[in-house]
Structure formats: structure tokens, C-alpha cells
């Protein structure tokens, strides 16, 4: 199936392009190719809204010349050859700034991961996709009589292949497919109307549509007729979905590229305690799930051709490593972490593969008991405004009051303000309810003494 997307003849043309760049006088040359096909069925209130098929493909080439790099891209993969594209990148390299830290990987590693391809997904028909989207809507309506409208219920699946080739002999290929289901709905009670959505994705065709629909309906019900929250300091439980977002921001600040430019809260903190000793967080590019399948973010190589690996980012509260590209590792004199991602028209940049905290031991019921009088935060809005240098944040939030160790009335129009250091150092307990959201995992987190603004 890989060859259905990237035929051998296309790979041969790219090898010819690499050779042409070297004949022109390049010091190094790379080709990164990405091809994908996708299918989506979207329904709304029992009627088919959209049924689409798409195919995308593109090539990015990078040429090194006397310490400078040039980039060129093309979406025309049917060309007779790509020599002119490599020649363009070669010429552009002469105009770039010199960068003595640019590096290339040596060929290494093998694709020893379980297959990321599921033939069952490829066998789905358009009618299968429509039926799944319809069933998801029906499951949401069955879960709650308060569901007033379905804004979108969708099923999508796709297949993709990528290939990195370099003049050094690196050949890093990846191939796999996925499925995703999502629903956005409105619930109503009295004069109040609230929106909610939920989703899931995986590498198989049997996503749990009943759970997805019921969770979306439950989210909506829990937001109906919200009350005001008095401003003050509270014990807070973060929902796993909120924890995923916050931990993702933390991981982004561990990019060595940001650290080296002084654009990270964690610059100069390597080896220091930055969080509660309860927190351990890893990024694992080769993660295998308990059922023996490759996790959604698992890939055999990173975007520069290094074999992916397991990186412990924070261990019992101590910052253990930054995430590196080859360039940042050379600049900072540290070991590479195989954490490069790649786009068609840009130099490699830091990414994460499977970001996951180590689960705690507390049940959600126990966390709610410990947070008596506090708030379960179910949603944060505006996290993109967090200052990456200072860590300061002031974002909107909504959630549910905790009374008698149970969930009580919903609250909204909350201001969640402070600093990311507060989030990290005030972790009082971790839940045992680890959940995956795509290629990132979250869990319930109990925080002490968090300032929440309200009415």
C-alpha cells in the first residue's frame, strides 16, 4: 500500500534530484515527501450534509551550501523530474544566512514498530461512513433528551505516507491510516442553551460511537444553567481534557530552540525541580499500547531521519531534558532527542510524538472528596495567550462546583489566572484515570490554592 501512494518511480526521481544537487556543488541535500488520502461523511439532524474525498501531496527539498540552506516546494508530483526544484533550492541557499549548527543524520535504525496500517479502514464504503456518522448522532440523542440540535456529526478516515531521503543515505519512510469520529451538539433546558462536542480517533474502524455521543451529551448537560462563582482561592480538579492542553503547552516550552533564544519559562532550568514530585512526563515516539498496537503518534523516525525514542521530560518534578532537533543539540552541546518534525516548506522543528504523564493512584471520587468546596475545571479558553517567557496566564474557564464530594452546579465566566509555575508546583494529587486524546494523554489533576476570578 505504501507504493500506491509513493511509487518506486517517484522515489527514483527524488534520488536523481539529490544527485543533481550534489553535482551543482551542494554540501547536502534532502527531499521530504508527504502524500495522503482522506474520506469524510458529515450529517446534521439526520440528514447528510457532506460526503467528501480528498488527496493531498507535496514535496519539500532542502539544500545545504557553504553553511547556508535553501528550501523549495512543489505539489506537482507528476513532473518528469525534480532537478529544477533542487537547483532552485541550491540557488536560494546562496541568499540565506550562514548557520554553523545545521546538521544531518547518519543512516540508522529500522522500522521495527507494529504496522500502522489497518486494511479494514481501507475497505469502508461511502455508505459505511454515512451510517457511522448517523449512528453517532443517534447515540448522542439516545443519551440525553436535552439534545436540541446536532450541529455536526462526522466520521472521517484516511491513509498517509511520508518519505525522507538524503544524500547521506537516510531513507526514513512512514505509512499508516487512522479513523476519527466527532460530534458537536446543542443541549437545552428552559431558556438556557449550551454547546458541547466530543471526539475520538484511532487506527481501527470500531471507534466507540456510543461513548463519544454520550460524552458529548453529558458535557452539554453539565453546562446548563450555570451559576456565578465568587472570586477566591480554591482547590481545583482539572479534567483530563484540560490537563492535556496544559501539559501540551509545558512540552512546547521545552523546545530547545525556544530555550536557546530565551523564549521559554524553562530556560536554564535543566536538572532543577520545576514541578511537584508527583509529576513525571515522557514523550515516546515508539510507544506500544497494551494491546500490542503502535500508539497514534508512534513513528519509526523523526523528521530528520533519527530513530525515535522515549524521552523523559520531567521526572518526579525535575526537568530532565529539552527537546532537540539536530541543530539545537549541536548548538547547545547536548545529545539529540530525535524530536524533529517536518513540513514541506520549512526547516525541521521540534515536535512531540506521544506525550503522556505517569498516572497517579487516586480515583476521581477521591480527588473530588479532597477538593471539597472547590471546582472541577472542564474547559479553559484562550490558552494560546499564555506568555511562554514568563508563564503568566489569565484565561477563561468553566466547570462544576464540588459539594459533599460530588459534582454540583455548573459555573462559568471564571477567570483562571496565575502562572504555569503555580500549575506545576501546586499539584497535590494525580488521578488514575489516564485517557488518550489523539497522541496525547491526560488525567485528573488536583491543584492546591488556585486563584479563580468570578462574579
Domain boundary residue, one of 181, 196, 217: 217
The predicted structure's pLDDT at residue 455: 60
* Whether 435 and 329 share a structural domain: yes
The predicted structure's pLDDT at residue 422: 86
- Which string of DSSP letters, residue by residue, matches 76-123? -TT-S--HHHHHHHHHHHTTSPP-TT---PPS-----SPPB--HHHHT
Which pLDDT band, with edges at 50, 70 and 90, does 1 fall under? confident
Domain boundary residue, one of 155, 189, 217: 217
* Whether 179 and 253 share a structural domain: no
Identify the sign of the CA torsion 418, 424, 430, 432: positive
pLDDT at 454 over 80: no
Mean pLDDT in residue range 290-314: 97
pLDDT at 130 over 70: yes
Rounded Cα distance, 399 and 11, in Å: 52
* Whether 160 and 244 share a structural domain: no
pLDDT at 343 over 70: yes
* Whether 87 and 194 share a structural domain: yes
The predicted structure's pLDDT at residue 206: 93
Domain boundary residue, one of 168, 196, 217: 217
The predicted structure's pLDDT at residue 318: 98
Mean pLDDT in residue range 373-398: 94
Q: Based on the structure, what is the number of domains in the chain?
A: 2
Domain of residue 157: give its range.
2-217
Chain segment 228-274, per-residue pLDDT in tens: 999 999 999 999 999 999 999 999 999 999 999 999 999 999 999 99
pLDDT at 148 over 80: yes
The predicted structure's pLDDT at residue 453: 87
Task: Count other Cβ atoms within 10 Å, centred on residue 302.
Answer: 28
* Whether 259 and 385 share a structural domain: yes
Which pLDDT band, with edges at 50, 70 and 90, does 2 fall under? very high
* Whether 41 and 159 share a structural domain: yes
* Whether 196 and 303 share a structural domain: no
CA nearest to 94, candidates 110, 71, 61: 71
Mean pLDDT in residue range 95-120: 96
pLDDT at 24 over 80: yes
Angle between helices 83-93 and 8-24 (to 10 degrees): 40
Chain segment 387-417, per-residue pLDDT in tens: 999 999 999 999 999 999 999 999 999 998 8
Q: How much is the pTM?
A: 0.95
* Whether 234 and 203 share a structural domain: no
pLDDT at 377 over 80: yes
* Whether 181 and 251 share a structural domain: no
pLDDT at 307 over 90: yes
Mean pLDDT in residue range 133-159: 97
Chain segment 25-47, per-residue pLDDT in tens: 999 999 999 999 999 999 999 99
* Whether 232 and 277 share a structural domain: yes
Rounded Cα distance, 40 and 38, in Å: 7
Domain with 131 in it: what CATH number? 3.30.2290.10
- Which string of DSSP letters, residue by residue, matches 292-312? SPBPTT--SB-TTSPBP-EEE
Chain segment 180-234, per-residue pLDDT in tens: 999 999 999 999 999 999 999 999 999 999 999 999 999 999 999 999 999 999 9
Q: Which three cell numbers stand for residue 52?
A: 467528501
* Whether 270 and 145 share a structural domain: no
Task: Count other Cβ atoms within 10 Å, centred on residue 139.
Answer: 21
* Whether 136 and 232 share a structural domain: no
Which residues are CB-contacts of 415 (< 8 A; sequence separation ≥ 6)? 394, 395, 396, 397, 452, 453, 454
Which residues are CB-contacts of 75 (< 8 A; sequence separation ≥ 6)? 57, 58, 59
Amino acid at each position: 500500500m505504501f507504493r500506491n501512494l509513493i511509487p518506486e518511480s517517484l522515489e527514483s526521481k527524488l534520488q536523481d534530484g539529490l544527485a543533481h544537487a550534489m553535482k551543482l556543488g551542494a554540501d547536502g541535500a534532502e527531499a521530504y515527501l508527504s502524500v495522503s488520502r482522506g474520506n469524510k461523511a458529515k450529517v446534521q439532524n439526520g440528514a447528510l450534509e457532506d460526503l467528501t474525498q480528498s488527496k493531498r501531496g507535496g514535496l519539500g527539498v532542502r539544500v545545504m551550501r557553504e553553511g547556508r540552506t535553501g528550501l523549495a516546494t512543489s505539489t506537482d508530483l507528476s513532473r518528469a523530474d525534480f532537478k529544477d526544484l533542487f537547483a532552485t533550492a541550491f540557488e536560494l541557499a546562496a541568499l540565506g544566512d550562514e548557520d554553523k549548527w545545521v546538521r544531518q543524520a547518519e543512516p540508522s535504525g529500522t522500522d521495527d514498530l507494529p504496522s500502522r496500517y489497518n486494511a479494514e479502514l481501507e475497505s469502508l464504503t461511502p455508505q459505511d461512513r454515512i451510517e457511522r456518522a448517523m449512528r453517532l448522532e443517534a447515540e448522542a440523542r439516545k443519551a440525553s433528551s436535552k439534545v436540541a440540535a446536532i450541529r455536526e456529526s462526522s466520521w472521517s478516515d484516511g491513509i498517509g505516507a511520508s518519505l525522507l531521503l538524503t544524500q547521506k543515505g537516510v531513507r526514513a519512510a512512514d505509512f499508516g491510516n487512522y479513523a476519527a469520529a466527532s460530534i458537536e451538539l446543542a443541549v437545552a433546558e428552559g431558556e438556557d442553551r449550551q454547546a458541547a462536542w466530543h471526539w475520538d480517533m484511532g487506527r481501527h474502524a470500531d471507534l466507540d460511537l456510543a461513548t463519544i455521543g454520550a460524552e458529548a451529551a453529558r458535557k452539554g448537560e453539565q453546562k446548563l444553567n450555570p451559576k456565578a462563582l465568587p472570586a477566591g482561592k480554591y482547590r481545583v480538579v482539572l479534567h483530563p481534557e484540560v490537563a492535556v492542553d496544559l501539559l501540551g503547552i509545558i512540552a512546547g516550552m521545552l523546545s530547545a530552540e525556544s530555550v536557546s533564544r530565551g523564549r521559554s519559562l524553562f530556560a536554564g532550568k535543566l536538572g532543577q525541580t520545576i514541578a511537584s514530585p508527583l509529576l513525571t512526563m515522557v514523550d515516546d515516539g515508539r510507544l506500544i499500547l497494551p494491546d500490542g498496537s503502535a500508539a497514534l503518534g508512534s513513528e519509526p523516525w523523526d523528521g530528520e531521519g533519527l530513530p525515535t525514542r522515549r524521552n523523559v521530560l520531567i521526572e518526579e518534578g525535575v526537568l530532565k531534558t529539552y527537546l532537540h532537533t539536530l541543530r539545537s543539540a549541536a548548538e547547545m552541546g547536548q545529545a539529540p532527542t530525535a524530536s524533529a518534525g517536518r513540513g514541506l516548506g520549512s526547516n525541521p522543528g521540534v515536535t512531540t510524538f506521544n506525550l503522556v504523564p505517569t498516572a497517579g493512584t487516586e480515583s476521581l471520587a477521591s480527588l473530588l472528596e479532597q477538593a471539597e468546596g472547590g471546582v472541577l475545571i472542564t474547559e479553559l479558553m484562550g490558552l494560546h495567550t499564555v506568555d511562554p517567557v514568563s508563564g503568566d496566564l489569565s484565561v477563561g474557564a468553566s466547570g462544576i462546583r464540588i459539594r459533599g464530594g460530588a459534582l454540583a452546579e455548573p459555573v462559568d465566566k471564571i477567570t483562571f489566572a496565575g502562572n504555569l509555575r503555580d500549575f506545576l508546583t501546586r499539584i497535590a494529587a494525580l488521578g488514575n484515570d489516564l485517557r488518550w486524546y489523539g497522541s496525547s494523554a491526560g488525567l485528573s489533576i488536583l491543584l492546591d490554592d488556585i486563584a479563580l476570578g468570578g462574579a
